Amino acid sequence: MKERITITLDSELIRQIDKRVNGDLIKNRSQQIEQLLANALGAYRPEKAVILVGGKGTRLRPLTYKLPKCMLEVQGKTVTEHLFDLFKKYGIRDIILSVGYLKEKVMDFYGDGSKFGVNISYIEEDEPLGTAGPLKLAKNLLNDSFIVANGDELKNINIPRMFRLHKRKDASGTIALTTVTEPSHYGVAKLSGSRILEFVEKPKPEEAPSNLINAGFYILEPRIIGMIPDGFSMLEKDVFPKLAKQGMLRGFPFEGQWFDMGTHERYELAKKRWNGISPYEDETLYEGEE
């Protein structure tokens, strides 16, 4: 619910605010002031993020025989540090790392997160739990909207925009979607507006419903944890299809960089082309929705 207030501002501030009103995404002065305040107060972001770093990285052997994939370096930083940069950009500093393979190395390197400017806690997988299983272990820590990110991908996403869509649509889950030229190599999203109807796994090029694929970055509500079965389970197979049938799963296409580092070729490409995370927030938090 919104309330009307009256404020007095310096004329130069008003001039700067009016310059940002474009009649499209920002339609009036009040909307721009609201956006600036929400940005400053961190109103449009979850407070916690879970990063999944427990995988063995078998396709990257021999690099991953003695080093977990999340600790491979891209331009002088580990993959996980680039994710930290993304979260810090939007004021998210409470990080949960789900560790499994070579977990002692991961925990020793990242520690409590203080040297990276974040606060880290850990979920320890004694056996592989997939992308969903670790969330059951962390259920006592996840009391509000939270992020889940695959720890073996580089991505640059406007989190406030994604969160705004998630909340406006009252979604249980929102998936970041990236565009690829060859969607037949991935699970491809079938959409109705922003609603995800289903994912079509590795379709023939002529049968792909779109060129949008799962980017391994999600905003979820705590209520989905009750849908996760015990033991090894996958968000993609055990949770998201149920949410789609309920009409509670949304997709957020984004234009920022994304690199899947699952193979040697993709890892080398990421090392060459990744632009890093700018510390400055995008000014526009309002985005048109269907």
- At 43, the amino acid letter reads A
d(CA 39, CA 123): 30
DSSP 128-185: --TTTHHHHHTGGG--S-EEEEETTEEE---HHHHHHHHHHTT-SEEEEEEE-S-GGG
Closest CA to 95 of 108, 83, 77: 83
The tokens for 86 are 């993304």
Residues 187 and 202: beta-carbon distance below 8 Å: yes
d(CA 119, CA 115): 9
Residues 224 and 243: beta-carbon distance below 8 Å: yes
How far is it between the farthest Cα atoms of the chain? 64
Q: What are phi and psi of 178, to 5 degrees?
A: -115, 155
The counts of H helices and E strands in the chain are 8, 13
Q: What is each CA distance from 267 to 63, 94, 163, in whole angstroms?
A: 11, 27, 29
The radius of gyration computed from the CA coordinates of the chain, to the nearest angstrom, equals 20
Name 183's bridge partners. Answer: none
Catalytic residue among 105, 202, 237, 242: 202
Q: What are phi and psi of 26, to 5 degrees?
A: -110, 110
202 is catalytic: yes
Closest CA to 164 of 245, 250, 40, 236: 250
- Indicate which residues carry an active-site annotation: 202
